[in-house]
Amino acid sequence: MLNIYIHCQKLSQSTNPEDILIFIKKTLAKEYPSMDLDALLVETDLVHFGIESIVILSLLAEIEREFKIALSLDALESCQYKISAVTIAESFNEKP
């Protein structure tokens, strides 16, 4: 399947999709040690990659804590709820 790198809104300078991808891979490596995480790219939808919804929700909460950012559901909705490093980066706002 061809993944398309789509930006749903302007990317904040403090939220780098590559940093989020590295964090996702490290976290998933603990949960799925046999998964081929090299195939996971910044634009790859985690749902289509085979990650369970409950794991994605936990991962989003961990990303919020790690990067000190808050999820914007409106921004995720504008990306049709595609959950990738890019859309996560674009769907979070810095916490005050």
Task: Domain 17-94: state its class.
Answer: mainly alpha
At residue 7, does pLDDT exceed 90?
no
Residue 14, pLDDT score? 52
Q: Could you state, in order of their start, the residue ranges of all structural domains in the chain?
A: 17-94
Residue 81, pLDDT score? 78
Q: How confident is the model at residue 93 (pLDDT cuts 50, 70, 90)?
A: low
For the chain, counts of helices (H) and of strands (E): 5, 2
- Whole-Å CA distances, 67 to 16, 35, 50: 10, 24, 24
Residue 11, pLDDT score? 42
How large is the greatest C-alpha to C-alpha distance in the chain, in angstroms?
39
